[in-house]
Amino acid sequence: MARKEYAFYPGCSSQMGASASNYLVSVESMCRHLDIKLTEIPDWNCCGASISYAESGELPRHVMNARNFALSETNLPGQDIVATCAACWLGARESKERLENSDRLMADTQTALKEAGLSIKAIPEIRHMAEVLIEDLGYAELQRHVKKPLEGMKFAGYVGCQTNRPFGIAGESFENPMYLDKLIETVGGEAVPYDQKVTCCGGALAFSEPEKSQAQIKDIIESAYDNGAEMIVTPCPLCQANVEVYQGQINKRYGTKFDIPVLYYSQLMTLAYGGTAKDAGLNGNVVRARKLEEFAAK
Amino acid sequence: MSDLNQQMAERYKNNFLKEIEEQAEMGEWVKMCMQCGLCSGSCPTHFHSGWDHPPQEIFMLIRAGKREEVLNSNGMYMCTSCYNCYVRCPRKVPVTHVMHGIAEYAYKMGRAAKAQPTMHLSKVFWTNATKYGRVNEVQLTQSLYFKDGLAAGIKKGLEMKDVALGLVKAKRLNPLEALGIGHKCKDLDGIHRMLAKAYELEAQRKGRDTSKA
């Protein structure tokens, strides 16, 4: 039996062939090394993300999350739900809070769930993978598994918004959270201080108003470069995609020469634990992390 | 003016604050605002052009009863859901959610500008996610690019060609999803029944008679 077991909520972007599929690959590798067992919630659905607010309304959005709670509770009793996506975590956790604090919302939700043959007894805890690593395992345990420290590599830990606000990791500040820097140092890398650690990448506005979003992304990347970072690391799939894939367009718009790889914490950890480039999903990076590819091949 | 909008304007007469408190999700928080402006100053998009009103102005306009100005504002759609305003508000107003709530109400009243791109994204995102139970990223992108017609869609597609090719090469974009082949939930019928009930209950709870709208 694995040391820790969780009900896993991968979310839409982490599915095979989707925009964060390499996040999932690296999370699975990382969890193998740490003896964490993730069991996917059967037939889970989309959380609605942050952007659906205008069309979804209140109850339908919470009902979508409630369906996942009911499926998790029924099929994986006693297990906390773990999300890897910042928006999934936030959306689900917000729905849990709202339902638990409103009898009327909960009653309406149960009525709607009945249409799908489901019901809620007690909503499981909703955790982010970073919380599981830090709170359930701890930095010392995470360090114990390091076989190949990422020595001499400089990373800008980009925490962004939704793994940090409004809930965040317990004990961390909203303005300067340190957990990602500590994770980078735990696997032997150097976390450079820089001033855009919690700046918003524009989120969904990267699709609807790209010029606004790209102006914000430019500030983030520029600050990472200015402070000596060779790579950016993030816990959020939308931060990762936004900061990585628009670098070409930003270069055209602003005459910059950005070419900085943007990794997930789980990719660094997989490599430090002795995993291959493939285990870490490095082939899923659009801006190739050549230094890490060479490191993995050694 | 849509029928639903007229219905609501008549029901609440000159009490727009009450209308927002009862109709917009988290609207009951509006009266807690003390006009310090920390929300506006913390907003990442506030520093770009094109804002009608940042949050603190929206809150004051609501209290001043400026129904038309608020419902027609584009301010609510500038939200990136970064939650800076939410965690910094000294009165603990959940500003992000209040803005989302007002946006939803304005949109359902038929007041938001049809061409507002983020409002459009909200609509297509939810429609997309609930069609299959999970997001189809390719169809989502297509409906965004082609919102202004075929020619604009092709132009936008060409502009984004390099981004898309990079993702396809990295196996992070599956062109087959365009055909609806891809990720979906098994119990789609159950999900659709559940959502139909949720829409019905929400309309009842808010006294929004959508049959006349």
Whole-angstrom distance, CA of residue B24 vs CA of residue B100: 9
Lowest-confidence range among B12-16, B116-120, B141-145? B141-145
Residue A18 neighbours by CB distance under 10 Å: 27
Judge if B15 and B39 occupy the same domain: yes
- Tokens for A181, please give them: 């820097």
- Per-residue pLDDT tens for A19-35? 999 999 999 999 999 99
Pair A268, A233: CB distance under 8 Å: yes
Q: Are residues B103 and B179 in the same domain?
A: no
Model confidence over A212-231: pLDDT tens digits? 999 999 999 999 999 999 99
Domain boundary among the residues B91, B113, B135 is at B113
Provide the CATH number for the domain around residue B58: 1.10.1060.10
Mean pLDDT on B71-100: 97
Task: Say if B212 falls within a structural domain.
Answer: no
For A221: left if phi > 0, alpha if psi spans -120 to 50, otherwise beta; the answer is: alpha
What is the distance between the alpha carbons of residues A252 and B159, in angstroms, rounded to a whole number? 11
B8 and B96 co-located in one domain: yes
For testing contact with chain A, the best of B26, B74, B83 (most A CBs within 10 A): B83
With beta carbons under 8 A apart, name residues in chain B contacting A91.
none
B109 and B135 fall within a common domain: no
- Average pLDDT for chain A: 97
Q: CB–CB of B198 and A108 under 8 A?
A: yes
Q: What is the DSSP letter of B170?
A: T
- Counted across chains A and B, CB pairs separated by less than 8 A come out at 216
How far is residue A167's CA from residue A18's CA, in Å, rounded to a whole number? 26
Q: Tell me the pLDDT band of A16, cut-offs 50, 70 and 90.
A: confident
Percent residues over pLDDT 90 in chain A: 98
Q: Give me the pLDDT at residue B1, please.
A: 53
| Tens digit of each residue's pLDDT (9 = 90 or more) over A61-93 | 999 999 999 999 999 999 999 999 999 999 999
Identify which has the larger pLDDT, A176 or B142: A176
pLDDT tens per residue, range B107-127: 999 987 778 999 999 999 999
Domain ranges of chain A: 4-129, 147-297
B76, B100 contact by CB (below 8 A): yes
Which of B135, B163, B174 has its CB closest to that of A248? B163
Closest by alpha carbon to B133, among B174, B187, B169, B84? Answer: B187
pLDDT above 70 for A286 = yes
**Last residue of a domain, which of B113, B137, B155?**
B113
Topology given in CATH for the domain delimited by A4-129? Glutathione S-transferase Yfyf (Class Pi); Chain A, domain 2 (1.20.1050)
Clarify whether residues B80 and B174 are in a common domain. no
Instruction: State how far the Cα of B20 lies from the Cα of A262, in Å rounded to an integer.
Output: 42
Question: Considering its fold, how many domains does chain B have in total?
Answer: 2
The Cα A2–Cα A9 span in angstroms is 18
Pair B24, B101 in one domain: yes
In this prediction, residues B19-25 reach a mean pLDDT of 97
Contacts of B196 in chain A (CB under 8 A): 115
Classify residue B74: in a domain, yes or no: yes
The pLDDT of residue A166 is above 70: yes
What is the structure's pLDDT at B210?
65
With respect to residue B213, please indicate whether it lies within any of the assigned structural domains.
no
Supply the DSSP string of B73-137, one letter for each residue.
-SGGGG-----HHHHH-TT---HHHHHHHHHHHHHHTT-S-TT-HHHHHHHHHHHHHHHHSS--H
b/e burial code for range B103-118 (CB count within 10 A of at least 16 → b): bbbbbbbebbeeebbb
Cβ neighbours of residue B149 under 8 Å, at least 6 residues apart? none
Model confidence band, residue B212 (pLDDT cutoffs 50, 70, 90) = very low
Q: If pLDDT is split at 50, 70 and 90, which confidence band does B100 have?
A: very high
pLDDT digits (tens, 9 = 90+) for B170-188: 889 888 888 877 789 999 9
Do B105 and B175 lie in one domain? The reply is no
Look at residues B113, B133, B167 and tell me which one is the last residue of a structural domain: B113
Identify whether residues B102 and B21 lie together within a single domain: yes
pTM: 0.96
d(CA A34, CA A256): 40
Q: Which residues of B, range 8-47, sit inside 8 Å of A by Cβ?
A: 25, 44-45
Angle at B103 between CA B102 and CA B105, to 5 degrees: 65
**Chain B stretch 148-177, residues whose beta carbon is closer than 8 A to a beta carbon of chain A:** 162-163, 166-167, 169-174, 177
Written out in words, the top-level CATH class of the domain with range A147-297 is alpha beta
Q: For residues B82 and B126, state if they share a domain.
A: no
Residues of chain B found within 8 Å of residue A25, distances taken between Cβ atoms: none
Instruction: Output the furthest CA–CA distance in chain A (Å, rounded).
Output: 59
Residues B75 and B93 in one domain: yes
How far B65 CA lies from chain A's nearest CA (Å)? Answer: 22
- For chain A, percent of residues with pLDDT exceeding 70: 99
In the beta sheet, which residues pair with residue A133?
none
In a domain, B14, yes or no: yes
One domain for residues B57 and B92? yes
**Quick one: B41 and B136 in the same domain?**
no
Supply the range of the domain harboring residue B165.
Answer: 117-199
Residue A296: which of A281, A275, A265, A269 has the closest Cα? A275
Query: Which pLDDT does position A27 carry in this prediction?
Result: 98
A15 contacts in chain B (CB < 8 Å): 134, 183
Residue A1 has pLDDT above 80, yes or no: no
Residue B213 above 50 pLDDT?
Answer: no
